[in-house]
Amino acid sequence: MKKSLVVVLSDPKLGEEALGRVFNALAFAYDQKERKNDVKIVFQGTGTRWVSELSQPKHVLHGLYEAVLDKVEGACGGCADVFGATESLKQTNTPLLRDLKIPGTTGLTSLVSYIDEGYVVTTF
């Protein structure tokens, strides 16, 4: 079985280009899910801001987000802290991933651990 980790890095504050990236990330995850492949989605960096946007029913990508919500592993906790997304992630019950203990942070997502588990990492 193929294993993919989709990492969303784009910043929703940057307009259409960022929207295109998250659209393609979710579509890629949806395609993997439909093919019954093992796929997980992680929001990283400024991408942690996307969850509150995509969770809004009026957002253009809300339906697609809902279709792959079961594949969302979580969002980088340390990134969310830095980029002001922690509270909105808590409100959406999105897990905060803090398994990589880096000095000066509250912990980040260890992408290397996914690679060690056989996941191919694709960033958007």
Domains of the chain: 3-123 (3.40.1260.10)
pLDDT in the model for residue 100 = 97
Mean pLDDT, range 15-42, rounded to an integer? 97
pLDDT per residue over 106-120, tens digit each?
A: 999 999 999 999 999
- 1, pLDDT greater than 80: no
Inter-CA distances, 85 with 20, 77, 81, 118, Å? 21, 9, 6, 29
Strands (E), the chain: 3-8, 38-43, 72-76, 96-97, 120-123
pLDDT in the model for residue 55 = 98
pLDDT per residue over 48-104, tens digit each?
A: 999 999 999 999 999 999 999 999 999 999 999 999 999 999 999 999 999 999 999
Mean pLDDT, range 3-7, rounded to an integer? 98
> pLDDT band at residue 18, thresholds of 50, 70 and 90?
very high
pLDDT in the model for residue 40 = 98
Give the end-to-end CA distance of the chain in Å, rounded to a whole number.
22
**Among residues 21, 1, 24, 4, which one has the least CA distance to residue 13?**
21
pLDDT in the model for residue 50 = 98
